[in-house]
Structure 1
């Protein structure tokens, strides 16, 4: 697997992909890789690339990497994207366009909200503190386990049957944030609550934390969509890609350490 390059190889999905592909090359800060510095890319011999943009605040960087990877011999690209990345102005729009126009085999992954956002992502602090505050109201989402995302990615990096596929990846059912927090509280054996906040107040809070306004409004808009009853649809991407149903939120919570 030494000819497979995994961007974000120490991140939420990247390290899970790497665990499934022994010997794959890990592209991360810890290995000297800098997505913003092409001199660090070391693409010689690479035939497949797992593409991740770890910083949505940055100017588009994946299109150039796609071009150089294909020129260096890559023949298979798997992009971790997002459900609304086909829209102009989305931070990953240019990356999707580059992958689709690369001239080689490609697969695009559109995961819904990660279940791991509660355990190792932006909502983990609220879970640890005992109160998760978000502008999602009573909206529901079919949270997808990052293990499922990684399994789909690993398969797409090694099997031509995924070429030209766009996989919408979700869990098996939509749950509200209140329900999700309740499942986690039972698994953790302690009290955890979900608190709703108005979207504009949430935007202002994110900007105060240093998030650029356009990114804060994009992410808040996605949560507000849930609040308005959108984004709860369950998709069949995991089953189409792997031939099995996705893992449930309850299984995710039970398998996670909530210390």
Structure 2
């Protein structure tokens, strides 16, 4: 057997652990992995996995070939480097060498977590994603748009290339199954065009036939709103600093990672909006 064949055998992926498999990206990664013929092992609290409890890690990882890692709060959270680095080292110890980490494009706070992954001994890939298009149709922003007819958010007039999470998932699965092609590589993914948050809300309004308003506030004012909804003070402080640093305009550019990896253009924000509107996501 040649050395190249040995390496191919060692890195072939058939079973992939998907952390956050019930979440926004994890659910799509799980679906894309199954569509690619992989066996998916969901690593969620409902299945006994807990990022904060190391005793749950071995059962989730043992016998798998690869894993998709997404930190439960944010890749730039203070505890993320230790958690991701620790899980990655445990994965390598158990023979799960192929790891793909979801990171954030333009988030300097994420770099220590990326380094922790790179130093684990894993065959790693980092996928840095722009702001998700589905943040408008899934998660905490949706109820405000649906019920109040407005979005209050600290985005100002900053423009962002909102990325479809299905593209993020497809890139992640391609990295998991692509052999050496994506090992020790960072891939940045975005949507195909820049939109401000106000322009995004205007597209949602046009698709739904509703009058919707975007109201820009400061990150600090938004933090007060989050605190009023009961978020822990330390989480509020982290998110205030995160929004202030991410939404300052430095991310107002396109990335070509989707085309590089998948050989096609990324899906457009308008497609996501039309599909969600057809499903009645923003109906009051």
The TM-score normalised by the length of structure 1 is 0.90
Q: CA RMSD in A?
A: 1.8
**Which residue is equivalent to 2:22?**
10
Is the 2:85–2:120 contact (alpha carbons within 8 Å) kept by the matching residues of 1?
A: no
Structure 2: tracts of 5 or more residues without a match: 1-12
**Which residue is equivalent to 2:155?**
136
The structure carrying a bigger helix percent of its residues is: 2
- Report the secondary structure of 2:133's partner residue: coil
Residues 76-121 of structure 1: per-residue CA shift (max 9 Å, x gap): 1100011245x3xx2x444311211222321101101100110112
**Which residue is equivalent to 1:159?**
178
**Which residue is equivalent to 2:244?**
221
**Which residue is equivalent to 2:69?**
51
Instruction: Work out the CA distance in 1 between the residues paired with 2:201 and 2:32.
Output: 29
Alignment length (residue pairs): 252
- Report the secondary structure of 1:45's partner residue: coil
Match 2:88 to one of 61, 66, 73: 66
Instruction: Work out the CA distance in 1 between the residues paired with 2:62 and 2:225.
Output: 44
Q: How far apart are 1:59 and its partner, in Å?
A: 2.4
Instruction: Work out the CA distance in 2 between the residues paired with 1:134 and 1:250.
Output: 20
The TM-score normalised by the length of structure 2 is 0.83
Q: How far apart are 1:27 and its partner, in Å?
A: 0.4
Is the 1:203–1:220 contact (alpha carbons within 8 Å) kept by the matching residues of 2?
A: no
Between structure 1 and structure 2, the one with the greater Rg is 2
Instruction: Work out the CA distance in 1 between the residues paired with 2:227 and 2:243.
Output: 11
Instruction: Work out the CA distance in 1 between the residues paired with 2:112 and 2:252.
Output: 26
Is the 2:106–2:246 contact (alpha carbons within 8 Å) kept by the matching residues of 1?
A: no
**Which residue is equivalent to 1:20?**
32
Match 2:167 to one of 133, 148, 153: 148
Residues 132-167 of structure 1: per-residue CA shift (max 9 Å, x gap): 011222221100000100000111111121112211
Q: How far apart are 1:2 and its partner, in Å?
A: 5.7
Q: How far apart are 1:75 and its partner, in Å?
A: 1.9
CA, structure 1 residues 127+46, in 2 after alignment: closer, same or farther (shift >3 Å)?
same
**Which residue is equivalent to 1:32?**
48
